[in-house]
Chain A
């Protein structure tokens, strides 16, 4: 009972809640950037993976930058609203945001003109490959079984995991395309994200869900769902028994969702450098590493130009598959 950290923790808790309440009132003045609070835009809703990582980064950036970092959820329009808000903000470093894989998809779908080139890349921090999940009592034991079944009976086996034309839809369509099967052979049932898609899978509404394997972890653990492959070049550390798509079915196809920190185009170099430096410290911190690993998020670090190159490659690859499967406008 005489835990010395308890008093400290209680104080932290009290302090935390009060800073929370008073956060909006603080207006200190300093000469160098940042001299006022920073806004971090998350283009997806509170509670999702992007929001969780965004909030974690914001709370860890605060002590590094010495300024409050406020998370703002700008949701809707399949990510268009939030991504536009980041791109069109004043490029002074006081508005940054989390850019997600959808930035390379939305313009192909004709939803916006924005591409990765409209941002100042700070750093890529997360990367999660798609998995190939079926119900635990499914007769399919491998991806080959599934592909054969889809080929034999086009239109019968439905798949789900995200909205129409979303990242996991592309994962499924691209895989079928690589296997020489028409992507329409397994009709896509749009869902509001991975969790409702997995619910459909468990309830017997669909046969395949191609969300990331970490999103399916609880249901795999519960014995309701099994993963047959990951669409990556390497196996996932948390699921070493699940083969890659190349190993499972000799299909050379990878698809992954990613998240990175970015600002509007044309941010001053010193500001970008300061943010990158602070973010690198955050990324390397024990708290961040523990948080990401705890949730099963894949960790990767690609700052500045490397992130830019990553976005370009991702954009081109996504465009190719979207055109191949008829999702591009």
Chain B
């Protein structure tokens, strides 16, 4: 399928996963990501794949653990409360160094919250997502095309570094429809000599396990894992800059918020305000360098978020607090309007003279 089709973000993720060679999907329905499961349920049986609706999110993530141990491409998807339920499994996947793709189409929280879009799982996604020292590669799509492209990328990165890659989308990204072009990617082959595939009595058996009772050895595993994380921070950062060449005020936003921010920046430019955008595509690894450099050029930052201000902390860290970082936000399922972002830009541009 390399022709253009009209897809929901959720469907694009599902189809891209299939194109990337994923033949195992385990999930449990929850709005606003249920179309991923529905699409998999329709498609997987037709292509010899496995769709299984588990009895719970906890069961689904542990089924992911099982397939991941065999070295096969596997995924699960959920929305915020469901991801919390998967947290234990995410930690076990990290502790066993298993590749997997996990999708979080966020909704308003905390608790059962609501069903409308949100970005308030930023901390949960980027600061671990479970107990213990670990990271996930966190990818934040901003269009339906990117939902597909980053899913394909996510599978590759997960295998390359033997860890979980998470697509951190939101309800709007999951539900909105846009034209997409999908093509089967060329799949990179990585070493999978660790996988549990049957020894056929001619090799030492592999063990997939996150239990390590000797402190010296568990420490060594942790240090080695963080060496791998360092390589990711050096090599895998992705971001987009928009009108940053001469920007005096920098908007930072990802996902749906970045689309709103672009409209606000276009409106600001028409009024002579030099606004620009940095859109992190990888939320971990965070694009620290580009924010650090921007801090020497711009007067201030505005973080536009569908949360009470979570990414704003990473911007302050990355920019080493050289310039003020303001927050422009809506929460609980609400989305900031371009007008609201424009107002925020005017309120902070050149100390609020405009």
- Physical interaction between A and B: no
Q: Which residues of A contact B (CB under 8 A)?
A: none
Q: Which residues of B contact A (CB under 8 A)?
A: none
